[in-house]
Amino acid sequence: MKFFIDTADVAEIKDLAETGLVDGVTTNPSLIAKSGRKFLDVVKEICAIVDGPVSAEVTALDFETMLREADVLRRLADNVAIKVPLTRDGLKACKRLSSEGTLVNVTLCFSAAQALLAAKAGAAFISPFVGRLDDIGSEGMELISDICEIYANYDFDTEVLVASVRSPMHVLEAARLGADVATVPPGVLRQMYGHPLTDKGLEAFAKDWAKTGQSIL
């Protein structure tokens, strides 16, 4: 499974990229707003840090303006993936952009039917939002299971990018179901490092090592 980081915080991305675990980055207008910086500057800087896809979202709602915005965004760096909403105009933009060789991430997916349309439109990534479905009493992971099954039936190239991830369990369940990518907030990725038995074991090792009076250096 690939790990994308869901943030526009450049410092966080630099820190996590040093682990070698980061395969890409996703951003959205809300994350850019939190950064307090200019959108294009942030995207360009992130693209210089991460080799993998960096999703930059259009803000227009109509087809023609989406294409104009996408043209600006994909000129920023070779690894920009254009993020479009799962609407009629978004799918039209996806079809046009993907036919030109541009990676497209179709976002705000909440049903398997929507995901099927995105794959047929040539999306490189489909972003189903599991956390938001859980919030309204639906089972977000059931959607991931349905999409993975449908895509396997027809050998679609579209990668299932699990979004709106709230906890390490979301990541693990998505991995069990065969999702291609999980885009996670920095805090969730850091939670995945930890385990109380790991901490306990290290504490015991450190105490025993101190008793030897030795030093490796």
Q: For 138, how many CA atoms within 13 A lie in the half-sphere containing its CB?
A: 14
pLDDT at 33: 87
Q: Known catalytic residue: 83?
A: yes
Q: How far apart are CA 202 and CA 120, in angstroms?
A: 50
Render pLDDT for 141-199 as a digit per residue (tens, 0 to 9).
999 999 999 999 999 999 999 999 999 999 999 999 999 999 999 999 999 988 999 99
| CB contact at 8 A, 42 and 13 | no
pLDDT tens digits along 41-52: 999 999 999 999
Distance CA 190, CA 67 (A): 36
Rounded percentage of the chain residues whose pLDDT exceeds 90: 94
Q: Look up residue 7 and give its amino acid.
A: T
CA distance 182 to 123: 16
Q: Does domain 2-212 have CATH number 3.20.20.70?
A: yes
What's the pLDDT tens digit per position in 118-147?
999 999 999 999 999 999 999 999 999 999
Q: Considering Cα of 40, then 43, then 48, then 51, what sign does the dihedral take?
A: negative
The predicted structure's pLDDT at residue 2: 97
Q: Quick one: pLDDT at residue 52? A: 97
**Residue reference for tokens 């439109």:** 121
Model pTM score:
0.93
Q: How many other C-beta atoms are found inside a 10 Å radius of the C-beta of residue 100?
A: 12
Both tokens of 149, joined, read 């099954």
Q: Which of 2, 14, 38, 83 is catalytic?
A: 83
Q: What is the pLDDT of residue 50?
A: 96
> How does residue 28 score in pLDDT terms, banded at 50, 70 and 90?
confident
Q: Read off the pLDDT of residues 51-103 as tens digits, 9 standing for 90 and up.
A: 999 999 999 999 999 999 999 999 999 999 999 999 999 999 999 999 999 99
Q: What is the structure's pLDDT at 51?
A: 94
pLDDT score recorded for residue 61:
97
203 pLDDT band, cuts 50/70/90, is very high
User: What ranges do the domains of the chain cover?
Assistant: 2-212
Q: Does 4 have pLDDT greater than 90? A: yes
pLDDT given at position 171: 97
| Mean pLDDT in residue range 13-33 | 93
